[in-house]
Amino acid sequence: MENMDIQHVELLENFIQVEWADFYSTEYQFEKKGTVDSEMNLLNRLIDDINKRNEIQGKNGTFSLYGSDPYLYIMGILRASENNIDESILNKLIVCVAGTILSKNQTINEKVSAYKVIIYLLKCYPELMECNDVLLKKIVKMKDYDQANETMISHIDNIVSSLCHFLFLETLGMNKYKEIVEILSFFGNPGRQIEACKVLKVFLTNHENLKISSNIESLILQSVLLWSNSTDIDVRWYNVQLQLKFYELKKFRKVIGQNLQMIAMNDNAIVKSQVLHKLEKIRVYDSKLASVISETAENDNNYVIRKIIVDQK
């Protein structure tokens, strides 16, 4: 659109506004302008989508799978937002994702996605705990948190949902170290490890302001280092993103830094690229390590790796 003349831009805008009015007022306006109104419209639309799914899932014995993930979209909006999101919207988000977790009919995939959103919200906006105390206590008291409808096309199962539930309780300030130790012992296969990397990364959100217990940090570190040696490239790809998040914790920076250096030297180019794209972030904490990784990449035998470094200069 940047290369189009004003007349054709207006024609395109008018066409989208008329033919795809809902898309125009939500996704299109948010991506183009990022205004407060466009954010609110899009978040409200996603909240409605989630509420509708919770209402119809399992109705008359019918269960549906969806090609879109409104929970992931919500987290993307919250992370990208440069505006102060109204507290009423944040409370609506808590209510709708809590509805997913508490639902008797919702699939386990949706529940795990909902756990990620509610953990993220409580990490970023801890004041929401007091506002939604009654609702959050309902989740705390759940006895069947590990029971939901599983699908055959996903790695997500009751073990993954149990980890999410215990991390949620830890977010509320409850000590669930023993339970997390026990549940992590079941994360021996690549599928579960990938899902664990995703939710653990969310759990580390805002760690600089909301302290995580030393026992839990050390436990996560053990898993991070163990999974970094996986023969499965997808596990290593998600794991390196978790490591980059963990690198922000000062007391583990040395050991994670050594691991990131080894990845930059020896791993697959796809995994290496994740480290290189975060090189400036690494430089903030350790300029020497960043320089070593950069020099290693400059001499890499893969053109794409060398090109990433060239493009950063």
Q: Give per-10-residue mean pLDDT for the chain (313 aa).
A: 64 73 72 74 92 86 80 90 85 96 91 96 94 95 82 83 96 95 95 96 89 91 94 96 91 93 94 94 93 92 92 83
pTM for the predicted model, two decimal places: 0.89
pLDDT attached to residue 238 = 96
pLDDT value of residue 34: 67
- DSSP line for 223-283: HHHHHTT-S-HHHHHHHHHHHHHHTTSGGGHHHHHHHHHHHHHHS-HHHHHHHHTTHHHHH
CA–CA gap between residue 235 and residue 258 (Å, rounded)? 19
Q: How far, in Å, CA of 83 to CA of 273, rounded?
A: 31
DSSP codes of every residue in 87-156? HHHHHHHHHHHHHHHH-SSSBHHHHHHHHHHHHHHHHH-TTHHHHTHHHHHHHHT-S-TT--B--TT-S-
pLDDT at 3: 53
Residue 162 has a pLDDT of 95
pLDDT at 83: 74
Q: What is the pLDDT of residue 216?
A: 94
